[in-house]
Structure 1
């Protein structure tokens, strides 16, 4: 039987993904992968190794005492990694930093495969991994070091985990550090990635999903949609993709392709600019589905801070409480000259 993947999400935003054999304790699997998860007794007595299971199927057995893990805690998803065995891929939240567990971000060498501009709005950057494909959760991001600068920029994967060719949707910023480098980039150029990072990732789709993307905040949703399509998910998914100008609407044909692969996937595009002839004008909050019910859906939101704040205000104003709400704000980096001032 093949091994399972365990994603360990640390408090400092670092994610490490390890393999765990059938019947192997998660704590032992972490040690085998040179990650020292918190522990003391390793016998289910002290509770030091307590983590939270965010998703996945697992067993805890009976070899631990109530003082280490109560029934209420177990019912809420808390686990003892020294007793935990898994029967599927799992995601665990570890209540400490990665450095405290003697691990940290991984680095990956990559080669530029293609640089595809989309008007003056965005660039699709495709990278071939020089070694093993990085493991990450759909929706997470990496830091990409800008050659010759000693600085980095953060971008979400737009492709699914495990691919040797990774994709990123990058906003073009006049005078921007990465935008400037990409203007002269060519296939064969080398880059270094570190990560993965972030708590914005797709959880188990157990109820309808509402995705709200602002501009290049579309990227993580493309990764999520690919994972949902490959898994054969029949969960209802609706994406609202909002931009400022008509030219900012990119990769719509890729979104349309998911409508053919996911039977219950729908989407709409929205343009804010007054002069646009787009059929749906304004902000994403003006085009929310009419059938939203409290607790009946999971909401994922990725966009600039004003959009995130506007959606949160709209939810409060309308008394709508998603079953879960996951969001990520991104702020375009300042032009290079300003960034070093």
Structure 2
């Protein structure tokens, strides 16, 4: 038995694929030469998340909560790598159809320019790629940890279109990548990058934008702001950047420079530790008085660790906040013993 699965993409394109009995939507799409957004294909990363608007299906129990929460599943969100249809279905894919062509992600090499320990908890990595990586502002890439077969996912913090790449990486004590960066990496070391990946990227700015960043989840927003600085923006853009402790607050001078060069861009920083002397303490949800909600005509982008993302989602629901679009990305732990969160 086969089922017709209508895949509705963000740009209005619909592709109908045939899914065999017992087959996942991701595998069926691959047979149809469609590379839907994915990274792990094991229900761990959450990259393949979409929404089923019609039809019956089973998700099994192989995925982790960080990839898809029970609350999300109850609302019809699915992981295409886990979704096994039992009827015809309509599935929304949060990406444009051109991103899902049969062309696979490319792997390029690059050389390390500099590794900066910019705080006790954050590392800035700068790389010059040997070839172009055509990423969108907000996307990420998998970087192979030199000397191992492991990779770690990191969002670009640099301007798309340049071979000069930068990344803001959480310094995890004992972490595989962190240990290499802090203890072994040096200029001109060779690294391998595969991508770009992810559906968390800046869409055309046609209305006010609210950006919510947690920790090194600031990285994709730095790339988005570089893009807005180059291309221009006539809509209000407001960023709320929350961290746990004073030492976690980084790149504030870069944000100040963006505020001086991008019309209508503003930002504020928030520290959760109540013992901090910072003027704004608590969580990002406690400091949304300047958020350009615009009666719901706003695009919201949220990137941070799972507890922060879940808290913001819960806050929006409890307050009845329904933005025009809501794009979010959680840091999800690696499945290897030497695990690190993506950044």
Please confirm whether the aligned pair reaches a TM-score higher than 0.5, indicating the same fold: yes
Q: Which consecutive unaligned segments of at least 5 residues does structure 1 have? A: 1-5, 15-77, 79-90
Contact 1:128/1:165 (CA < 8 Å) preserved in 2? yes
- How high is the TM-score relative to the length of structure 1? 0.70
Change in CA separation of 1:338 and 1:304 when aligned onto 2, cut-off 3 Å: closer
**Matching residue of 1:169:** 168
Following superposition of structure 1 onto structure 2, how do residues 49-88 of structure 1 map, counting pairs within 5 Å? none
Cα shift at 1:334: 8.0
For the aligned residue pairs, the C-alpha RMSD in angstroms reads 2.4
**Matching residue of 1:92:** 96
Contact 1:176/1:334 (CA < 8 Å) preserved in 2? no
Aligned-partner SS, 1:317: helix
Change in CA separation of 1:115 and 1:338 when aligned onto 2, cut-off 3 Å: closer
Cα shift at 1:144: 0.1
**Matching residue of 1:317:** 318
Aligned-partner SS, 2:166: strand
Contact 1:176/1:333 (CA < 8 Å) preserved in 2? no
Cα shift at 1:296: 1.5
Counting matched residue pairs gives 253
User: Which of structure 1's runs of 4+ aligned residues deviate more than 6 A?
Assistant: none
Contact 1:10/1:93 (CA < 8 Å) preserved in 2? no
Cα distance in 2 for residues equivalent to 1:323 and 1:246: 33
Larger Rg: 1
- How high is the TM-score relative to the length of structure 2? 0.70
Contact 1:177/1:335 (CA < 8 Å) preserved in 2? no
**Matching residue of 1:211:** 211
Cα distance in 1 for residues equivalent to 2:296 and 2:188: 48
Cα distance in 2 for residues equivalent to 1:12 and 1:296: 27
Contact 1:127/1:165 (CA < 8 Å) preserved in 2? yes
Q: Which consecutive unaligned segments of at least 5 residues does structure 2 have? A: 1-10, 14-33, 40-91
Change in CA separation of 1:332 and 1:171 when aligned onto 2, cut-off 3 Å: farther
Cα distance in 2 for residues equivalent to 1:169 and 1:120: 13
Aligned-partner SS, 1:123: strand
Aligned-partner SS, 2:96: strand
Contact 2:142/2:153 (CA < 8 Å) preserved in 1? yes
